[in-house]
Amino acid sequence: MLCPITDDDRSGPVCGQRGLVRATRIRKLVHPPIGLTAVTLAIRIRTYTCPDCQQRWSQTPQRACAGRSKLSTTALLWALKSVVIDKMSIHVIAKNLATSWNTVCTAVLVLGRSLLIADASRFDGVSIIGVDEHCWSHRGIDRWVTVIVDLSHRPARLLDIVPGRSADVFADRLKDHPDDFRAGIDHVAMDAFAGYKKAATEMVPDATTVMDPFHVVALVGTKLDETRRRLQTELHGRRGRSGDDLYGIRKTVRTRVGLLTDKQKHRLNSVFAADNHAALLVC
């Protein structure tokens, strides 16, 4: 799509004299697609020369793009919206824009840091935070990051991703926030990691630390499996096999009651009816 620059100010940046057109070149900018069709803006840029001082200068498409960016301003905002709101991957966005992955990723990171991460108002009204570790890479040394989310509203919002997973990492990130933010934290949800518990107790002592439901259910399921395997070993002296009652309910016993079929309920009741399986029923 050919786009001439409408602002035809030929005044020289130094002498102020009206310049003469010396040459014309085309600068291509990636633009948001129309449907499934990629769009490229062909900006016609004129180069001027001063007849007196022989200085040269060119038109600047500052309304179309920022600096030497390969993406138009509209394309930058479209890409950022696609990542943050539409949950699209950089690969899909780059394919829709008909440009490279590195071009889109670099542009989204720069614009995201300036518009979103640098906006201090995103921490307003946060009273419940959740913290957990995440393995973002399975290679190298720095594989783990600490993820902090806002649980005060639904859906939850991502607040921070900090390299490392330790008490110091979480404590230092909380320390970077102003006192008003820390004073407004009522609850901190986490897993069973003692490091996060220590950091929360030190930095937000008035907040209540709780374990999030996901890890509670995971721990309960683990203990349930350990009890079932212990009973299996005590009763049969070996690991479970096909045909063993306890082995046969290894998945059913972890299923929510509301999701059980009549057949599964009958099977559980028949297993729990045995006195030597009472420990699993109590658990």
Q: How far is the first Cα of the chain from the last one, in angstroms, to the nearest whole number? A: 69
How large is the average pLDDT for residues 17-40? 88
| Domain ranges (residues) in the chain | 2-117, 125-211, 215-282
As a whole number of angstroms, the distance between CA 113 and CA 94 comes to: 19
How large is the average pLDDT for residues 190-212? 94
Is the predicted pLDDT of residue 282 greater than 70, yes or no? no
Q: Is residue 101 a contact partner of residue 90, using CB atoms and an 8 Å limit?
A: yes
How large is the average pLDDT for residues 184-207? 94
| Angle separating helix axes 194-203 and 167-176, nearest 10 degrees | 30
Q: Is residue 120 a contact partner of residue 113, using CB atoms and an 8 Å limit?
A: no
Q: Is residue 167 a contact partner of residue 156, using CB atoms and an 8 Å limit?
A: no
As a whole number of angstroms, the distance between CA 49 and CA 21 comes to: 7
Indicate the pTM of the whole model.
0.69
Please give the mean pLDDT across all residues of the chain: 90
Residue 165: how many CB atoms within 10 A of its CB?
20
Cα radius of gyration rounded to whole Å, the chain:
31
- Reported for 193-202, long-range contacts at CB under 8 A and 24+ positions apart, including other chains, are 193/133, 193/165, 194/167, 195/165, 195/166, 195/167, 195/170, 196/131, 196/167, 196/170, 198/167, 198/171, 199/167, 199/168, 199/170, 199/171, 199/174, 200/131, 200/170, 200/174, 202/171
226-279: pLDDT as tens digits: 999 999 999 989 998 988 899 999 999 999 889 999 999 999 999 988 888 888
Q: Which of 12-16, 22-26, 57-61, 75-79 has the lowest mean pLDDT?
A: 12-16
Segments of 175-248 assigned E as strands? 187-190, 208-211
133-169: pLDDT as tens digits: 999 888 877 889 999 999 998 888 899 999 999 999 9
As a whole number of angstroms, the distance between CA 264 and CA 249 comes to: 9
Can you identify the CATH homologous superfamily of domain 125-211? Ribonuclease H-like superfamily/Ribonuclease H (3.30.420.10)
pLDDT bracket for residue 283 (50, 70, 90): low
Is the predicted pLDDT of residue 32 greater than 90, yes or no? yes
At 56, is the secondary structure helix, strand, or coil? Answer: strand
* Stronger pLDDT, 20 or 203, i.e. the higher one: 203
